[in-house]
Amino acid sequence: MNTFQVIAAAALLLAGAQNAHARPVSYPGGWTVMQTNDDQESGLHIHYSPTATYSVGYKGMWMRDKEAQFHGLQLNILGKRWNQPQSQANFYIKSGAGLAYSDKGALSAELSPAAFTGISLDWENRRTFTSYENRVLYAGDIDKTFMQKARIGIAPYIGDYGDLHTWLMLEVRHTPNDRDEFTFTPLVRLFKGATLVEGGVTQRGEALFNLVIRF
C-alpha cells in the first residue's frame, strides 16, 4: 500500500462501515457524520439532506479481511415513515456507487467499479427498539458480499428531552460468505443532544464502536 492508501485506510479505521442505525436522512438542510467500526469494516458516511425524504453524501469503507477500500457516493431515500402516538417506524433504501481498491494476494493493485444497495427498517417506542437492514455489495474481483443484521434494544430508564439516554442492545449479523457466519454483539447506545455513541463487543471479543453527530 502506498502512503495515500495507508492514510485513507487509517482515516476509515476511525470511521464507520454500515450505518449506526440512526436515521440516514435528516431534516432539510441538515448534515450528519456517521462513523462506525466493527469486526469486519470501518467506514465513514457524511451526508446532507436537501429535503426530508433523501440524503446524499460521501461513503468510505475499509473492509478489513479483504484489505480493500471503497470510496463513493451514497444516496439514502426515506421510503416510508409511520408515525403513531407512541411509536415511530421507518423504511429506507440505501445505495451507493464508487471505486474499490485492493492489493491483497493475487489482486495486484486491483481497482474496480463497485456498488451496493440495501434496505433498512426500524421501529421504536420510548422503551423498545428493533431494526433490520441488509446490503448487497459488488466490487468485481475484490468483493461480492451479502450481509444482513438485526437489532433489539431496551431502554433501562425513560429519559426526558435533553437527558443522557441509554439503550442496551443486541445486534445479530449474518454474513453467509464469511467463516464466522453469525456475529452477536451486545452493545450500549448512549446519546445526548445531537451526539450518539455506541460501543460493544462481539462473542469473539472484537470491538464495535459507532459515532453519529448531527449538525
Partner 1 sequence: MKTLFTLSLLATLAAGTAHAAPNSCPEKLSVNVNGLVCDFCARSIEKMFGKRDDVSGIDVNLDKGLITIDVKAENTLDDGTLTKMVTDAGYNVTAINRSCEK
CA 123 to chain centre: 17
Does position 50 bind partner 1 by CB under 8 A?
no
- Is 28:49 a contact under the CB 8 Å cutoff? yes
Of 185-204, which residues contact partner 1 (CB under 8 A)?
191, 193-194, 196
For 93, the enclosing helix (H) or strand (E) is strand 87-102
- By CB under 8 A, name the one of 1, 5, 8, 30 that touches partner 1: 30
- By CB under 8 A, name the one of 11, 13, 52, 115 that touches partner 1: 52
Does position 83 bind partner 1 by CB under 8 A?
yes
Cβ of residue 18: shortest distance to partner 1, in angstroms?
18
Does position 27 bind partner 1 by CB under 8 A?
yes
- Is 48:25 a contact under the CB 8 Å cutoff? no
Nearer to partner 1, 39 or 122 (CB): 122
Interacting span for partner 1 (CB under 8 A) from 65-73, 122-130, 138-146, 179-187: 122-130
- Is 213:194 a contact under the CB 8 Å cutoff? yes
- By CB under 8 A, name the one of 87, 111, 154, 204 that touches partner 1: 87
Give me 19's grid cell. 450505518
Give me 75's grid cell. 444516496
Does position 21 bind partner 1 by CB under 8 A?
no
Does position 84 bind partner 1 by CB under 8 A?
yes
- Is 85:74 a contact under the CB 8 Å cutoff? no
Does position 126 bind partner 1 by CB under 8 A?
yes
Exposure of 120 in the CB half-sphere (CA atoms within 13 A): 19
Beta strands 30-37; 41-51: pairing state: antiparallel
Residues that bind partner 1 (CB under 8 A): 22-23, 26-30, 51-52, 81-88, 124-126, 159-163, 165, 191, 193-194, 196, 212, 214
